[in-house]
Structure 1
Amino acid sequence: MPVFNSGDYLREAVHSVLHQLPIDDRPLPSLELIIVDDHSTDARTVAMLAEIAGMDDRVRVITNQRSKGAAGARNTGIAQASGAWIGFIDSDDIWLSYALALRWHYIESNPGIRWIAGRFKLLRTELTLAQYQADCARLAADMAGTSQYPRLEHLPRPFLDFAKECLIQTTAVLIQRDLINEMGLFNEKLHRAEDYHLWFQCAVANDLWRIDYEISYYRIHAASLTHGETPRYLKEDLMIEMLLQGELAGAHRASLVRRLDMVMQDHCYFYRGRKQYGNAFGMAMKWVGKRPLQVGGWKELLAATLRRG
């Protein structure tokens, strides 16, 4: 769990991990929660971290001496982890109470799984206790006495699928520690889309398994990186360029280039739609510089120049 000035959401996120429940009385795997404070400066967060550090012997709080971003904080935690499997949760997100048990059930039932994810819910408002309890109870009721676990989807080496869309959200992922290390961890040069970058690398030679059920909440709020005031795919072009320059591109180059064009187009639409024509012009220039033979970039350059929304 990377933490940077998380404030009030932090306690809720920690509580959701430490209060995981078993399914059908099957024992849960042993759990350690490694919280990596990425050099927080908010006094409330620092005080809360000190309180959390002593609340449960399964919790370890580690402090980075300098801010390393989400990728660096996660890498710090992975390096300190003792488990064979790694799960992630941001400090403003929430695991449903069966998130660990459900993924673990499929891992034990399918020895070939190296990474697995579930669906997630977007949380745009404050989560009430009643809402959380209702969602947990719904999952328990769906499986009670029937052994009918949610459908498990198998996606063989889904690189091309990821080129169309990011299929998973980091809070819902459980992955072998060895696989992360094989891929070289999260790229600390990326300040956004660092998780997407890692999933692309995993998808080249590893099948993905997805549970057709929501197991976590992904919170959207004004202070989060993902909200309506920035382009949906902000900085993703840098991530794609990094992939194109690496060994992975090869036969997948065309699909990555299509993704790059889509991202640049979306950026231009975003800024023109808000009449931010200077930003739209700069983004169009960037697109033309990357892809001078792509007609879309030139059209966006003209539209920004003419200040067309």
Structure 2
Amino acid sequence: MSVLDISIIIPVYNSRKTIAECIDSVVCELCATDYSWELVLVDDGSTDDSLKELYRFKEASLHSEQIRIISQTNKGAASARNAGIKVSSGTFIAFNDSDDKWLPGKIKKQMDYLLNHPQADLAGGAHEEVHGSYFKNLKRVNPIGIKDMVLKNYFSPQAVVIRKKALDDTGLLFDESMRSGFEECSLFYPLTYYRNCILMNEVVTKSITGKRRWGDSGLSGNIRAMEKGELYNIKNAYRSGFISFGRYLTAYILSLLKFSRRLLICEKRKFFGC
């Protein structure tokens, strides 16, 4: 198998209405560069016509030979991303979610940085619906370590590029047992401990539907699941020796405070119907 510059992995689950725009945004960005690439689409047991839509897109694409489709039973986003990582042949790996889109310049800026800074293994940016327009009080480029990550989740899968060798050397993958929220931190926490990771302080991805990550339409169930996942990751970081007890205690309390605030916001949305 020939080595490509970059592999892009997109987990897909019941995303028939958004997947075409999602893929279009990725392919347009890739075609604006000179990088060799492949697109790995992993259908995670969709029950709508998502899988058919993937094949329709591939058949109609001018880049069909660079598009690979994998179908598996429903195991969650972590499993789908891992399946894509395992078959990828790129020197670098990027992701997108099936209801998100890349913004202009996303991949070129991140790839250029990693190619010019071989000591860095991850370059991330902001995802609009999670981080807002940018990270306040941060410089244009910022090193992010595990001590930073346990206090604030700076990385979203769709907004990062990772050097694949960093995953191969550490054996790190997403925790497939986490299907309810914050499974991405099961990879990002140890990666920021073992390797050099940087944050580019600009928005590089956004939601196609405008859906917020938590509490949309006044639903609180996903907030509780995400909080459970975040606390699990924080505990695991401490048990693994990545952070001190003091940092663990600070991160744990801060997480609970953020959870309480999100619940209040969720109830407000539910009450006012916004």
> Where on the TM-score scale, by shorter chain, does this alignment land: which range?
0.7 to 0.9
Counterpart residue identity of residue 43, structure 2: D
Moved over 4 A (4+): 219-222, 268-276
Higher alpha-carbon Rg = 1
After the TM superposition, which residues 200-239 of structure 1 pair with which residues of structure 2 at under 5 Å, given as runs? 200-219=189-208, 226-228=214-216, 229-230=219-220, 232=223, 234-239=225-230
Tell me the TM-score normalized by structure 1.
0.69
- 2:178 aligned residue: 190
After the TM superposition, which residues 219-298 of structure 1 pair with which residues of structure 2 at under 5 Å, given as runs? 219=208, 226-228=214-216, 229-230=219-220, 232=223, 234-245=225-236, 247-249=239-241, 251-268=243-260, 270-271=262-263
Indicate conservation of the 8 Å contact 1:220/1:226, yes or no: no
Unaligned residue ranges in structure 1 (runs of 5+):
124-150, 277-309
For residue 45 of structure 2, the aligned residue among 39, 51, 65 is 39
Aligned-pair identity (%):
21
Is 1:20 the equivalent of 2:29? Answer: yes
- Deviation string 1:63-105 (CA, Å, 9 cap, x unpaired) is 01x1110100000000110111100100111012321111121
- 2:16 aligned residue: 7
Tell me the TM-score normalized by structure 2.
0.77
Is 1:53 the equivalent of 2:58? Answer: yes
After the TM superposition, which residues 34-183 of structure 1 pair with which residues of structure 2 at under 5 Å, given as runs? 34-43=40-49, 45-54=50-59, 55=61, 56-64=64-72, 66-122=73-129, 152-155=140-143, 158-181=145-168, 182-183=170-171
1:218, CA displacement in angstroms?
3.4
Counterpart residue identity of residue 198, structure 1: L
Indicate conservation of the 8 Å contact 2:142/2:200, yes or no: no
- The 1:243–1:33 alpha-carbon spacing in structure 2 relative to 1, beyond 3 Å, is same
Aligned-CA RMSD value: 2.8
Three-state SS of the structure 1 residue aligned to 2:200 is: strand
Indicate conservation of the 8 Å contact 1:240/1:256, yes or no: no
Three-state SS of the structure 1 residue aligned to 2:127 is: strand
Unaligned residue ranges in structure 2 (runs of 5+):
1-9, 131-138, 269-274
Indicate conservation of the 8 Å contact 2:78/2:176, yes or no: yes
- Deviation string 1:4-46 (CA, Å, 9 cap, x unpaired) is 00021100010011111677xxx52211110000011103x23
Which of the two has greater strand per residue? 2
Indicate conservation of the 8 Å contact 1:86/1:174, yes or no: yes
1:152, CA displacement in angstroms?
4.7
Indicate conservation of the 8 Å contact 1:172/1:215, yes or no: yes
